[in-house]
Structure 1
Amino acid sequence: MIPTMNAPFPPPRELDPVERQALAWVRRVAAGEITHADGAALRQWCQANPAHAAAFAAARARWAQLGEAAAMVKARNPAAMHATLPAARRPSSWQRRAFLGGALGATAATAVAAVVHPPLGLWPAANEWRADYRTATGEQRRLALGGAVDVELNTRTSIAGWPGAGGTRGIDLIAGEAAIDLTHAETPFVVAAGAGRTQALQRRAARFEVRHLGGAVCVTCIDGQVQVAHASGTAQLSAGQQLRYDDHALGRAEQLDAARMPGWRAGYLRFTDAPLGEVLDEINRYRTGKVVLLDRQLAAKPVTGRFQIHALDKAIVQMQRSFGLHARTLPGGVVLLS
């Protein structure tokens, strides 16, 4: 276990040249001024140095915060919006369907590549815009869909509902992680994710979770029994079992002990000998900004521990001290570990 440490991060400082360049990129993208060539240049700039990607993530977060603050001011006093933020500098929303609205209107043909393939996943991809429900960073949301079906969405999750055929209902898990609780549902309920579909067997009461990230899907049966159908075959899971699949293959069921079961619904992230790089990737899903490990040789170092989701900055400090890393804090929740 990693020892607990509560050392605070240092306070933010003035923007350096890289951060100012990142902010300039964000302003251009949000204003709809980016072209296809600009999008390629932005991706290349982000990929050239982890610090560039981190600075861009921070600038995006700060711009989003400005947009949220402006929306609150406008909701409370519409006239104050014009008095506080001149038209030329009003930040635009980064919410789904509204993001890059100006760019799609003025330069749809040239900007579409940057929208469909966002650099380093720093904003929602275009396929997430069709979602009926979407959670923001760090947000969890519970939906009562009727018919004895409850769905809980984890951070950064997008789903679309569909009635299906023959009385079957379900959701399309576009991206993220969802937990499904069925209490003797009257009609079959299916979760489609990637190349597979998961549903409870014989409409029995069941609880299961589906995680869909980066083209890979993980299904965990918490209670009852579920069936996973894939182009390469089918598999059944009982309580405490888990399997993974991608577009090409369906994995085998694996029995999990209590320490390896997903803990996000209870407010925890659990890791057992997980590579440090993967742990930081998971933490990045829950907090605004980005934690970047600059020393990639340390990415394979094993981490075992249980961290509270609402106190992930403490977890970062714990890992920093455990592995002897230096932390550099940038605005917008960005932390560079080296």
Structure 2
Amino acid sequence: MNPIDDMDADPIDVASHWCLQLADGRLQGDALARFQTWLDEDPRHRAAFDTVARTWQAFDASPAAPSLMAMREEALSHYARRQSRRWRRPAGMRRPMLAAVAACLLLAVAGWGWIQAQPDVYRTGLGERQLVRLDDGSQLSLDADTQVEVRYNHDRRQLVLRQGRARFQVMRDPLRPFSVSAGDRTVVATGTEFSVELLAAQVHVVLYEGSVDVLPRDAATSPPPSASPPSPSTVHRAREMRLVPGQELVAGIDAADARIREVDAPRTRGWESGQLSFNDEPLGQAIERMNRYAGSHVLATGDVPSASLRISGTFTAGDNEAFVEGITGVFPVTVREEGPRYVFVQRPGTSTPEEKMTTQ
């Protein structure tokens, strides 16, 4: 009989069997769910698995130590006797079989640690968008060229935005805070809706519903603050900030300052339907967003100081040619085609433009 299906089975036997399945690559899908259920239903089960894991972790760290050799032999002999009686095989196991079990258990421990350490990774390529539903019912909406790592455990939900932009619709669970780290900032929420964007020089956080606290990443484990919402259009040097719906936080990467401003929240979600909106933003930042969708040409600022051109307006994602036409039609700049790139350059005989462009 399979020890997993035997109600009277010794927890050590069952833990060993789970380890063997893990080492064999069979602990996936429904089997992985059954394993998690077995761990959770009785503290003795988790203790048994921890015992098996610790034994083989210790052996892996120092396999030649006499005490560990004895521990291994005892554990293997115990396992062999149990399985011999249970499966009606001859008592004892040949040494090659013992070695195989030892190897499987070592692999199991290493594999389980690797599974625990590795996050779930969701990513999109250039021009792609994706909607993801997480195990707790929360949802992620990923912009193009975006990567999000997700780690869930019993007391917290930790996500990291590695690149790009994503909107988070969080299922409320006060006992498990939901946090998203991007750059040197961490957004903490329990049940709300917000987006986080990571650019080369800035982190943007837009709140749609509920409330969130934004903390320096190294302070993210501190309890959520109870400060009242900050007024819009102010600069904060405090270690923690709270947003209310309709506000956007703009923070420089590795900078103490962060600006909070009022925004047109529905418009900031235009990227989910393929429309990219800019609100008095530097050319370089607008280019960074347009390049997530690339189109036939990638854009570059060239010799045009990107901070000198401020862009406001809405463009279709992936239509970099229309973006170029809009910029060159307003500013004294042109583009130079360099293979797959459109490079913005100043027109001969003109000075650095200090202008703003607005399109609809």
Q: TM-score, normalised by structure 1?
A: 0.53
Q: For 2:210 and 2:283, locate their aligned partners in 1 and report how far apart those are by CA, in whole Å.
A: 33
Q: For 1:297 and 1:191, locate their aligned partners in 2 and report how far apart those are by CA, in whole Å.
A: 32
The aligned counterpart of 2:308 is 300
Aligned residue type for 2:322: K
Alpha-carbon shift at residue 210 of structure 1 (Å) = 0.8
* 1:215-230 pair list within 5 angstroms: 216-230=202-216
* 1:183-202 pair list within 5 angstroms: 183-185=171-173, 187-200=176-189
2:321 pairs, out of 286, 308, 313, with 313
Aligned residue type for 1:235: M
2:186 paired with 1:178: no
Partner SS for 1:265: helix
CA RMSD of superposed structures (Å): 2.9
Partner SS for 2:240: strand
The aligned counterpart of 2:243 is 237
Aligned residue type for 1:184: R
Q: For 1:252 and 1:329, locate their aligned partners in 2 and report how far apart those are by CA, in whole Å.
A: 36
Partner SS for 2:144: coil
Structure 1 alignment gaps of length 5 or more: 1-128
Q: For 2:170 and 2:121, locate their aligned partners in 1 and report how far apart those are by CA, in whole Å.
A: 20
Say if 1:194 and 1:324 are closer, same or farther in 2 by CA, change over 3 A. Answer: closer
Q: Deviations over 1:206-257 (max 9, x none)?
A: 2101112236322110111112222462221111112133434252532224
Partner SS for 1:303: strand
Say if 1:211 and 1:198 are closer, same or farther in 2 by CA, change over 3 A. Answer: same
* Number of residue-to-residue matches in the alignment: 205
* Equivalent pair of 1:179/1:207 in contact (CA under 8 Å): yes
Alpha-carbon shift at residue 179 of structure 1 (Å) = 0.8
The aligned counterpart of 2:142 is 153
* Equivalent pair of 2:195/2:207 in contact (CA under 8 Å): yes
Q: For 2:126 and 2:259, locate their aligned partners in 1 and report how far apart those are by CA, in whole Å.
A: 31
Say if 1:306 and 1:158 are closer, same or farther in 2 by CA, change over 3 A. Answer: same
Which deviates more from structure 2 when the two are superposed, residues 148-157 or residues 321-330?
321-330
The aligned counterpart of 2:91 is none
The aligned counterpart of 1:26 is none
Partner SS for 2:172: coil
* Equivalent pair of 2:144/2:292 in contact (CA under 8 Å): yes
The aligned counterpart of 1:208 is 194
Partner SS for 1:253: strand
Say if 1:298 and 1:132 are closer, same or farther in 2 by CA, change over 3 A. Answer: closer
* Equivalent pair of 1:207/1:224 in contact (CA under 8 Å): yes
2:334 paired with 1:326: yes
1:278 pairs, out of 242, 267, 285, with 285
Partner SS for 1:139: coil
Q: For 2:159 and 2:285, locate their aligned partners in 1 and report how far apart those are by CA, in whole Å.
A: 27
Q: Which has the higher contact order (CA 8 A, sep 6+)?
A: 1
* 1:49-128 pair list within 5 angstroms: none
Q: For 1:150 and 1:237, locate their aligned partners in 2 and report how far apart those are by CA, in whole Å.
A: 20
Among all aligned residue pairs of Structure 1 and Structure 2, give the percentage whose two residues are the same amino acid. 27
Aligned residue type for 1:247: D
* Equivalent pair of 1:260/1:271 in contact (CA under 8 Å): no
Structure 2 alignment gaps of length 5 or more: 1-117, 220-237, 346-360
Say if 1:195 and 1:330 are closer, same or farther in 2 by CA, change over 3 A. Answer: closer
2:131 paired with 1:142: yes
Q: For 2:255 and 2:285, locate their aligned partners in 1 and report how far apart those are by CA, in whole Å.
A: 23
Q: For 1:234 and 1:243, locate their aligned partners in 2 and report how far apart those are by CA, in whole Å.
A: 12
The aligned counterpart of 1:253 is 260
Q: For 2:204 and 2:169, locate their aligned partners in 1 and report how far apart those are by CA, in whole Å.
A: 17
Say if 1:140 and 1:185 are closer, same or farther in 2 by CA, change over 3 A. Answer: farther
The aligned counterpart of 1:114 is none
Q: Deviations over 1:237-287 (max 9, x none)?
A: 111112133434252532224587353123211123323333223322321
Q: For 1:291 and 1:188, locate their aligned partners in 2 and report how far apart those are by CA, in whole Å.
A: 39
